[in-house]
Every structure is written in structure tokens, then in C-alpha cells.
Amino acid sequence: MYKRQLERKEIQYGGDYLIPCAEALAARDGDKWVDVASDADWIPPLRDFTVEFMMKIVKEDLAAMGITHDVFTSEKKLTQAGKVDDALKFMEEKGLTYTGILDPPKGKAPDDYEPRPQLLFKATQFGDEIDRPLKKSTGAWTYFAADIAYHKDKIDRGFFDLINVWGADHGGYVKRVDAAIKAITGGKGKLDVLLAQMVRVFNNGEPVKMSKRAGTFVTMRDLIDEVGKDVVRFIMLTRKNDAPLDFDYAKVTEKSRENPVFYVQYAHARGRSVFRHAKDMFPSADLTDAGLAQADLSRLTDVDEIGVLRAIASWPRTVEGAALAHEPHRLAFYMYDLASAFHALWNKGNDATELRFLQANDQAVSIARLALVRAVGLVIASGLAVFGVEPVEEMR
């Protein structure tokens, strides 16, 4: 079976990402499964092998992205551990379920619709449109029942503020899960579902073709290998989760203000450059953070200098607002705007020498402006740290 996949014959699903998995299976088992006729004999063990192999890749990709993910939850393991049974028993004891017959779906009923008694969750009592089935006609739990068990497991571990990241096509599923969490926590649980749009990958303006049917797509690891984890992390956080994102290989590596990660990093690097020159110009000055904290900021009188100071002052509230709203893209917008204001101040000094950060004949003004430059660098470094991105000391 997998040998034919490796030989590129009789392929039903041609995703190249499956080839390493098939090669690993062949290396472990040789021809063990080639002539096994019964699906019941080969599908379960190969499915387990494939899931384990793919999870290994997922964990490696997360590590390459600099993401630490402590708990991975398997629906199969939840079921095997009896947690779905326990969750539904808990709901039954709380009077949250009943046996009933659902009305047929609105419009034309599907061919497989069967008006039969089912175990139902009283979802309408908690804001949903209809009550939801918890068991299939086969007697197996529905996906929704497993989702309830998954969230109850989190709640049992002490987590009542729950954040889920789903694909945009799962928007219709939000109400039922929210209803279940309200039910099992007595209203104490809070669910925030972030519906994420697809990322469209381009190369120099041309779309990179992908196909679910053919199994051809660009993986996160492809992006990391091409442009590095810091660029990927920053660009992914420049859009609200429900807004489409166009990731262009060429654009995210160009050195212009159209590339937000470069523009922000460039501001930080420029600030570090100013300090390298300041040490040569004022060798006896205390340019430590403690020394700069004593600077006379009243010497900053230009309207654009005041504008940068105001932007810096708004940083703590920006972080607070982004955290409360679960919207990290706010920090990306803020850092880009701060970098833009800083670059504008830099360019203003190029046109008017008296506005340059360093004034050889006026150390007091220079120290005040260095305090401003340092503050910009600290805020940008702080924002990049939130994103898990390393600030650069100089651009090469």
C-alpha cells in the first residue's frame, strides 16, 4: 500500500508531505503491510503511526517558530480515558440533557435525516438556537460531546478563561460551545473564539498555488526556512485574526517602509547607532539608563519630539488594551507608528542640523534627545519581546 505511494503509482491523494511518513513506515516495517487485505487489520496501526509522525513534525515546527506548547490533547485519548463519558454524566446529573427528537433542518431535509430519539443538550437555555445532539445513531459520541469533554478538562484544571483559535469556516459552531461552557460552569466560564482567516502566500506579487485536493501547500516550516522565524512571527501578527493576510516572500525581505518588520527593526538599529556615536562624542557622559533618567526633558521642544514622547507614554495602555481584547496586532500597529514617528524625527534632523540627536556644542540637549532615543528603543524592544522577536543592534 505505502510502497505504491513511494513508487508514485495508484496514488489517490498526492500530497508530497506524506512521502517522508511513508518512508519512515517502510524503514520500520518493511513490506509488513503490503499484502494485508483487511482494512481492519492495517488501517488502525497505520493511522496511529501517521498521527504520531505528524505530531512529531508539528512539535518540531512549533520549536522552530519559538513556540512553547505544554499540553496536547487528543480526542481519542479523552474518549479512551472515559472523560467524554464523565463529562456527559456530569451534565446529566446537572439536568442539562434529555432524550428528545429534533425538528428537521429548515428547508429541504437531508436524505439521511431520521426523526429518532436522541440524547440532547439543552443548548437553547444557554443562548443557542437549537438543542444539540450528543450521540450519533451508532451510539458513538458526537464531535460536540468530545468538545464538551475537552473544555471541561480545561475547566477542571482551573482555567475558566478559555481562548480558542478556529478556522473561519467554524463560525457557526461558536454558539453551541459557548452554551456548553456556560452550562457546565454555571456561567463562570468565559469563551473567546478567535476565527482566523487563511494566509495567502505570494512570491513577488504572484500567488503560490496551493490545493487541498492535490495536497500541495506551503507549510509554516517553509516560511520559517525561507525568511526566518522572527519575520514570520511579526508578519503573522500584523493583522487582526479575522482579516486575510497576504504573505509575500519578496515584500517581507525588502528594505522599505512597506515591510513592517524591517521598518520597526530599523528604528531600533538606528537608535543603537546613535548611542555608538554618542559614546565617541561625549566620552565622559553617563549614558546608562540611570544617567539618562536624570536628563532635562524640558530641552525637548520640537513638536515632533513631543509627539514621540506622547506615543511612548501610551505604550502601557496599548499593551493593556491588546491583552484585554486578545488582539496582539494592536502592538504591531503601535510599533510601526512609533517607528514611523522616530524615522520622521531622524529625517527632520537631516534637513535641519539643529534638530539632530547629537549636538557637539550642547551636551544637555544631546542627553535629553538620547533619553528620547533610548526610550524609543526600550519600547520597541519590549514590543518585539511580546512577539517573541529579537531586536537587532544594526542593519546589515
Which contiguous run of DSSP H or E holds residue 195? strand 190-196
Residues 94 and 59 in one domain: no
Dump pLDDT digits (tens) for 193-205.
Answer: 999 988 888 888 8
Dump pLDDT digits (tens) for 84-110.
Answer: 999 999 999 999 999 999 887 776 666
> Is there a domain that residue 393 lies in?
no
- Cα distances (angstroms) measured from residue 241 to each of 42, 103, 229, 324: 40, 35, 19, 15
Return the pLDDT at 5.
46
- Which CATH number goes with the domain that contains 101? 3.40.50.620
- Number of residues in the chain: 396
Residues 119 and 231 in one domain: no
> Is there a domain that residue 394 lies in?
no
- Which CATH number goes with the domain that contains 371? 1.10.730.10
Q: Could you tell me the pTM of the whole model?
A: 0.85
Residues 185 and 234 in one domain: no
> Is there a domain that residue 69 lies in?
no
Instruction: Select from 180, 196, 212 the last residue of a domain.
Output: 196
Residues 206 and 272 in one domain: no
The three-state secondary structure class of 266 is helix
Return the pLDDT at 209.
78
**Rounded to whole angstroms, how far apart are CA atoms 186 and 180?**
10
Instruction: Select from 64, 90, 116 the last residue of a domain.
Output: 64
Confidence category of residue 369, pLDDT binned at 50, 70, 90: very high
Residues 16 and 119 in one domain: no
Is the model more confident about 270 or about 138? Answer: 270
> Is there a domain that residue 395 lies in?
no
Return the pLDDT at 35.
84
Dump pLDDT digits (tens) for 204-252.
Answer: 888 887 766 656 678 888 889 989 999 999 999 998 888 888 889 888 9
Residues 9 and 102 in one domain: no
Return the pLDDT at 4.
47
Residues 81 and 192 in one domain: yes
> Is there a domain that residue 51 lies in?
yes
Instruction: Select from 196, 216, 239 the last residue of a domain.
Output: 196
Return the pLDDT at 109.
61
The three-state secondary structure class of 135 is strand
- Phi and psi dihedrals of 104, rounded to 5? -65, 155
Nearest to 365 by CA among 304, 301, 289: 301
Return the pLDDT at 3.
47
Residues 266 and 170 in one domain: no
Dump pLDDT digits (tens) for 35-50.
Answer: 888 889 999 999 999 9
CB-CB neighbours of 191 under 10 Å: 18
Residues 325 and 217 in one domain: no
Residues 208 and 192 in one domain: no
Return the pLDDT at 11.
47
Residues 171 and 209 in one domain: no
Span 24-43, average pLDDT: 89
> Is there a domain that residue 237 lies in?
yes
Domain count, the chain: 4
User: Which domain does 20 fall in, by range?
Assistant: 2-64
> Is there a domain that residue 396 lies in?
no
Residues 99 and 172 in one domain: yes
Nearest to 318 by CA among 333, 303, 304, 307: 333
> Is there a domain that residue 392 lies in?
no
* Out of 112-126, 273-287, 293-307, least confident range: 112-126
Q: For all residues of the chain together, what is the average pLDDT? A: 90
